[in-house]
Amino acid sequence: MTELTEEEKFIVEKLKEKDGKLNYKELQILCEDQFEGVRLILKKLKEKGIVEYEGMIPGFSAEIELIREI
């Protein structure tokens, strides 16, 4: 199992709270007081096979989906 950073854990928890799906813009708003670099963190989570979204880097209209629980 891959060890997650505090930021990655925060994003996974927010997705769990929203039944595994959240729009990127909404997620950005939830994270803005906690940390910066949401796109980079999502990219790392996608590489680890934990989240899925369309494209290489999520855009503002992207739907972020939790595909594997940790």
End-to-end CA distance of the chain: 8
pTM of the model: 0.91
How far apart are the C-alpha atoms of 61 and 3, rounded to whole Å? 29
On average, the pLDDT of the chain sits at 93
Cα angle for residues 14, 12, 22 (degrees, 5° grid): 50
Q: Which pLDDT value is given to residue 4?
A: 94
> For the segment 14-68, what is each residue's pLDDT rounded down to a tens digit?
999 999 999 999 999 999 999 999 999 999 999 999 999 999 999 989 999 999 9
Question: Which residue do the tokens 């729009």 mark?
Answer: 23
